[in-house]
Chain A
Amino acid sequence: MKHRVKILIALLLPLAVTGCSKEGDMVNRVGKGNNVDKVISELINKAESGNNTADLGKGTIEKSESDSEEQDYIAEENEKDAVDVDYDLTGMSSDMVYAAVYNLMADPDAYVGKTFRVEGKYYPVYYEPTAKYYHYCIIQDALACCAQGLEFVWGDGSHVYPDEYPEENDKIVVQGIFELYKEDGEDFLYCRLKDATMEVISQ
């Protein structure tokens, strides 16, 4: 009898360890694919089916409907970018995102020239000394203590703020090439994603 109780406890122990997680969470963390990929696939499918709207679902970046060629171009670029990403942080768990961003900030030289895709909240900042707006993707971490803002330059930087940019705190996916730079007359080293593409995935 004593042995049976021991065996029963031993068999139930793994259940006790694993039984507390929500089914939804596990699907989200392990089984579910990349949301961004889905959005991009939908975009490409729509573009290919002749519907030149390049609709990104709920949060489509507002663009003129007349420039359908530009929409096609974006879809093609997204398809190309999806293949060329070196580090995709969008499908990662929160702990891994925290670790990835920590390492990005701790050893930035190792990541210069690499293409990143990150998901976070859009946040613009006006910096008086340079009289410029800087655009950030705020990435939350697992501990919710070290939210990290990653600066990005959308395209060639010619997009007009605020007309073409999303609202503050909109959820965005940014993909760009990591680079380090210094502002004129400053010794601080900044990092950003250049030549970035941006998609609004929810408002």
Chain B
Amino acid sequence: MNAIIDKLALYMQYPFVRYALIVGVLIALCSSLFGVILVLKRFSFIGDGLSHVAFGSMAVATVLKITDNMPFVLIITIACAILLLQTGQNTKIKGDAALAMFSVGALAIGYLLMNLFSTSANLSGDVCTVLFGSASILTLTKTEVWLSVVLSVSVAAIFILLYNRIFAVTFDESFAQATGIKVKLYNLLIAITIAVIVVLAMNLVGALLVSALVVFPPLSAMRIFKSFKGVTACAAILSVFCALTGMLVSILGGTPVGSTIVAVDIVAFALACIIGNILRRRCA
């Protein structure tokens, strides 16, 4: 135990480890807050689709030799999120089909571009890093760290300040519209926020595992709590705990960051299922 604490103390000397832990916790918090909305609105898979779009735009940024690619990726992903969530109802290609099209299309184009205009000696290593986030969170530039902190705080602030309206839009759009809430505007806001979370979460767990960060904590919380407030609070605590545990385990044990966090999320989900079952039996 002392050896682990000593090793952790040693690693904490490194600025990039401290940045990773701060940014990781903030990303986990944001993703869980809006993850609850995504799960309740049946949009769970949208995070996955948008992360593929983000991968594609990252490949374009690499080809264009844009050093700080996060703003570029952010703009493209937000545009796609708006397209998917806003025009999905009125177009010929409906909801899930449009999402699948965007998702696989962006993934394929991204990989194709990285192959054609490869700037690295090891393409597989680069692609693997982006898709599974093996060490992305540990290699953030200072600009990316600040951008991540500002965006994460903004997302959390939006959720807290507009909690009641987001709650109304999430559960019953017709009722929300009848009470004077501009549903379209709030859906647009949710779409933009989700795109921001996806781009941020890509740094933490990689493009392919973003959905896990968005979906697992709310689903685990739903096993135990039944109210929106309870689920949201529990999801936030679980998500931060799992992300922190996953990052510490991966830093100490040398495992890939993204998949370790998701593994901890899976264990937490299993435990939440057991606790939920016990609670239900007691109440019955």
Tell me the minimal C-beta distance from B280 to chain A in angstroms: 10
Using CB atoms, name the residue of chain A closest to B11.
Answer: A96
Q: Mark interface residues in A90-125 (1 if CB within 8 Å of B CB, else 0).
A: 011111101110110011001000000000000000
Does A144 lie within 8 Å of B125, measured CB to CB? yes
Which of B69-77, B177-185, B262-270 lies at the binding interface? B262-270
Residues of A within 8 A of B (CB-CB), count: 36
The answer for the CA separation of A100 and B10 in the assembled complex, in Å, is: 13
User: Which residue in B4, B10, B274 is a CB contact (below 8 Å) of A30?
Assistant: B4
CB neighbours of A86 from chain B (8 A): 13
Give the contacts of A131-187 with B (CB-CB under 8 A). Answer: 142-146
From A87, A96, A102, A145, contact of B254 by CB (8 A): A96
Partner of A29, one of B14, B253, B274: B253
Residues of chain A within 8 A (CB-CB) of B251 are: 93, 95-96
Instruction: Please count how many residues in chain B sit with their CB below 8 Å of the partner chain's CB atoms.
Output: 40
Closest A residue to B4 by CB, please name it. Answer: A30
Pair A107/B142 contact, Cβ less than 8 Å: yes
B91 within 8 A of A: no
Taking a contact as CB atoms under 8 Å apart, the answer to whether A145 and B252 are in contact is no
B216 to nearest A CB, angstroms? 13
Give the complex CA separation of A13 and B270 in angstroms: 8
B87 at the binding interface (Cβ < 8 Å): no
Question: A13 CA to B266 CA in the complex, in Å?
Answer: 8
A17, CB-defined interface residue at 8 Å = yes
Contact of B138 with A145 in the complex, beta carbons under 8 Å:
no
A14 at the interface (CB under 8 A from B): yes
B274 cross-chain contacts in A, Cβ below 8 A: 6-7, 10
Q: Identify the stretch in B126-134, B153-161, B194-202 within 8 Å (CB) of chain A at 4 or more residues.
A: B126-134
Q: A33 in the interface, Cβ–Cβ < 8 Å?
A: yes
Which B residues are in CB contact (< 8 Å) with A31? 3
A99 and B277 contact, CB distance less than 8 A: no
Beyond A3-B277, A29-B253, is A143–B134 a contact (Cβ under 8 Å)?
yes
Residues on B with beta carbons closer than 8 Å to the beta carbon of A17: 263, 266-267
- Per-position contact with A for B240-284: 1 when CB-CB < 8 Å, else 0? 000000000011111111000001001100110110010000000
- Tell me the interface secondary structure of chain A in the complex: helix
Q: A143 vs B125: C-alpha distance in the bound complex, in angstroms?
A: 6
B10 touching A88, Cβ below 8 Å: yes
Contact at A99–B16, with CB atoms within 8 Å?
Answer: yes
Question: A residues within 8 A CB of B139?
Answer: 98-99, 102-103, 106
Report chain B residues within 8 Å CB of A98: 135, 138-139
**Distance to closest chain B CB from A145 (angstroms):** 3
Residues from chain A with Cβ under 8 Å of B10 in the complex = 88, 91
Query: How far, in Å, is B65 (CB) from chain A's closest CB?
Result: 16
Smallest CB–CB gap between A190 and chain B, Å? 21
Find out whether the CB atom of B122 lies under 8 angstroms from the CB atom of A87: no
Chain A's closest residue to B274 (CB) is A10
**Cβ B7 vs Cβ A95 within 8 A:** no
Of residues 1 through 36 on chain B, the ones whose CB sits less than 8 Å from some CB of chain A are 3-4, 7, 10-11, 13-17
A6 adjacent to B273 (CB under 8 Å): yes
Among candidates B7, B126, B256, B273, residue contacting A10 with C-beta atoms closer than 8 Å:
B273
Instruction: Name the A residues within 8 Å of B3 (CB-CB).
Output: 30-31, 33
- Chain B 99-137: CB-based contact to A (< 8 A → 1; otherwise 0): 000000000000000000000111011101100001100
Q: Is B174 an interface residue (CB 8 A)?
A: no
For residue B98, give the distance in angstroms from its CB to the closest CB of chain A. Answer: 34
Cα(A144)–Cα(B126), bound, Å: 11
Distance (Å) between the CB of B27 and the closest chain A CB?
17
Whether B15 pairs with A146 at a CB distance below 8 angstroms is no
The 8 Å CB contact of A87, one of B13, B134, B252, B257, is: B13
Q: Evaluate contact between B267 and A142: CB separation under 8 angstroms.
A: no
In the bound assembly, the distance between CA atoms of A154 and B43 in angstroms comes to 59
The minimal Cβ–Cβ distance linking B51 to chain A, given in whole angstroms, is 21
A29 adjacent to B138 (CB under 8 Å): no
Interface residues of B (CB under 8 A from A): 3-4, 7, 10-11, 13-17, 120-122, 124-126, 128-129, 134-135, 138-139, 141-142, 250-257, 263, 266-267, 270-271, 273-274, 277
Chosen A-B contacts, 5 in total, with CB atoms closer than 8 Å, are A3-B277, A93-B252, A96-B11, A107-B142, A142-B254
In the complex, the 3 A-B pairs of residues with the closest C-beta atoms, listed nearest first: A93-B254, A145-B122, A145-B125
